[in-house]
Amino acid sequence: MIDRPTTLAALAAALASAEAAAPVPAVGSSPLDRPVVLRAGGTDLQERLGSERRAGRRLPTIVDVGGVEPLCGIHPVPGGGVLLGAATTVMVLAESAVVAAWPALAAAAGGLATPQIRAVATMGGNLLQATRCPYVRNLDVSCWRTGGIGCAARDGVHDRGVVIDLGPCVAPHPSTLAAALLAHEATIVVAGAEGQEEWSLSAVLGDGTDATVDHQLDGDEVLVGARLPAPWPDERGAYVRAAGRQLAEWPLVEAVVRLAVGDVITRAAVAVGGVAAVPLRLPEVEAALVGHAPTAAVVAAAAAAATARCTPLPQTGYKVPLLVGTVQSALEEALGEALR
């Protein structure tokens, strides 16, 4: 829509009027079957709309959120943290001097997608994007996510699927920033009919057992931003993405690591993506680090703890060693010269 709402109130009004005006489509044949869909950068949505158009499907009404003031910008909050507006682009996250205080987040943002996508894609859109499973995106296939029953990938090709099998769908969560924000213990600001609330990231993304939705927000709820707590003193961070090609590929496994190191490792946060229906913190790895000297042996043992929850599918057995290797590499990179 060319007249973009600029306030949350205007956005709510635009949503309500679009909902009222929209024809009710057949339920459950596509992820776009909500009558009204919010659009930020559009880098995920436009591709799916394009597929729907080529299939001759009825399209939802679009409401653009990119101009809504509270969603824009990076705002300091008392205590040393920031509020990252949902419409902040991935490129800004990767390059901003403010975000550089959280090196793992900046690295994760810079490591995803391509320069052209990072310039447009937003933090909010990245968190709430639809699953990348090629079966889901094939409009001729019906599954849990598109109102049907079953998972064609589980019975078919799932070599890029999950290795920690939480639910009926085998597609890993696509959001790199979700893994990063999880490691940063960010809370998510959601605006709804009742005003603004703070949700945990897990509340936004669910626990991976419900394959019928991409996230837990209702149609009238808007992701406003992410509240990032202050960085740790002397925070170190790293992001490692394992994939076949060097760049521009969805990760097979990705790891976001934050560490604070004195004589021993004093704090650790490790989150991984590409392995489960939602990004996961790995407290078992963190526990094996905190209180220990940053030696190669400690790092290797901690990374090996990442296998604890693995339940590989027939085609994802390789992700068990890959998860260990990715976590280990991220830990080593975060430690840098502090590795003893």
Partner 1 sequence: MPEGTDVRTAEVDGRAVSVGHLDDHVTALEVLRSTGCTGPKDVCGGGVCGACTIQLDGTPVASCLLPAVALAGRTVTTVHGLSAAGPHPVQRAFAAADALQCGFCTPGFVTAAAAFVDRWRAEHGDVAPPRDAIGAALAGNLCRCGAYDAIHRAVAAACAGEHDDPAPLVGARHDAAPKVRGDAVYTADVRLDGMLEGVVVRATAPHLTDVALDLSVAAEMPDVVVAPMLAEGDPTVRFVGQVVAAVAAPTLDLAAQAAAMVAVLGAEAPATIGLDAAMAPDAALVFADRAARKGAFGGGEQQAIPARWHGNVRGPVRLGWRGGTAERRITRARSASDPLLVETTFETAGQVHTALEPHVAVADVRADGTVRLWASTQAVGDLARAVAARLEVPVGGVEVIAEHVGGGFGGKLSMTDEVVAACLLSRVAGCPVRVRWSRAEELSAAGYRPPTRSRISLLAAVDGSLAALRLDVESDGGTSIGASAAAQSLLLYGRTPRVVRDLDVVSHAAPGCAFRAPGGPPMAWALEQAVDEAAHRLGTDPLELRRRWDGNERRHALYDWAGALPAWRDRGPVGSSSGRLRRGIGAAMSSWMYFVDPGTEVTCEVRDGRVVVTCSTQDMGTGTRTVLANAAAAVLGIDPEDVDVEIGRSSPSHGPTSGGSRTAASVFPTTTAATEALRDEVVAVAAGELGLAEARPIDGGIAHRDGVVPWKEALAAAPGVRGAATRGADLARRVVPFGDSQAGRGLTGAVHLCEVEVDTRLGRTRVLRAWAGLAVGRVLAEGPARSQVEGALVQGIGYALFEERAVDPHTGAVVSASLEDYRIPGMADTPEIEVHFHTEGWEHVPGGGVGIGEVAAVGVAAAVGNAVHHATGWRPTVAPVTPARLLEGLGS
CA 299-300-304 angle, to 5 degrees, is 115
Is 315 one of the binding residues for partner 1 (CB under 8 A)? yes
Percent helix / strand / coil, the chain, rounded to 5 = 35, 20, 45
**Torsion 246-251-253-254 (CA) sign:** positive
Rounded Cα distance, 112 and 262, in Å: 31
Closer residue to partner 1 (CB): 116 or 311: 116
CB of residue 110 vs partner 1: minimum separation in angstroms? 9
Residue 38: beta bridge partners?
63
Give the three-class secondary structure for 208: coil
Is 247 one of the binding residues for partner 1 (CB under 8 A)? yes
Is 119 one of the binding residues for partner 1 (CB under 8 A)? yes
DSSP 63: E
Classify residue 90 by burial, with Cβ atoms within 10 Å: 0-12, 13-18, 19+: buried
- Count the alpha carbons within 13 Å of 214 in the hemisphere toward its beta carbon: 22
Is 122 one of the binding residues for partner 1 (CB under 8 A)? no
Q: Which stretch binds partner 1 (CB under 8 A): 112-120, 196-204, 214-222, 271-279?
A: 112-120
> Two tokens at 295?
């030696």
Among 9, 26, 55, 264, binds partner 1 (CB under 8 A): 55
Helices then strands (H, E): number in the chain? 12, 11
CB of residue 247 vs partner 1: minimum separation in angstroms? 4
Strand (E) or helix (H) holding 163: none
**Chain mean position to CA 153:** 21
Give the three-class secondary structure for 229: coil
Is 245 one of the binding residues for partner 1 (CB under 8 A)? yes
Closer residue to partner 1 (CB): 119 or 230: 119
Specify whether the CB–CB gap between 283 and 208 falls below 8 A.
no
Closer residue to partner 1 (CB): 121 or 269: 121
Which 26-45 positions form the footprint of partner 1 (CB under 8 A)?
39, 42-43
Specify whether the CB–CB gap between 19 and 13 falls below 8 A.
no
Among 6, 51, 212, 216, binds partner 1 (CB under 8 A): 51
Is 236 one of the binding residues for partner 1 (CB under 8 A)? no
Rounded Cα distance, 158 and 176, in Å: 20
Is 140 one of the binding residues for partner 1 (CB under 8 A)? yes
Is 311 one of the binding residues for partner 1 (CB under 8 A)? no
Specify whether the CB–CB gap between 130 and 38 falls below 8 A.
no
Among 65, 84, 105, 141, binds partner 1 (CB under 8 A): 141
Q: Which stretch binds partner 1 (CB under 8 A): 55-63, 123-131, 230-238, 272-280?
A: 55-63
Among 16, 17, 53, 150, binds partner 1 (CB under 8 A): 53
Range list of H helices, 230-338: 283-287, 296-304, 319-335
Among 22, 69, 72, 250, binds partner 1 (CB under 8 A): 250
Closer residue to partner 1 (CB): 13 or 157: 157
Site string for partner 1, 63-102 (x = CB under 8 A): -x-x------------------------x-----------
Site string for partner 1, 216-235 (x = CB under 8 A): --------------------
Is 296 one of the binding residues for partner 1 (CB under 8 A)? no
By CB under 8 A, name the binding residues for partner 1: 1-2, 39, 42-43, 46-47, 49-51, 53-57, 59, 61-62, 64, 66, 91, 113-117, 119-120, 132, 134-135, 137-138, 140-141, 152, 155-157, 159, 240, 242-250, 252, 315, 317-319, 321-322, 325-326, 328-329
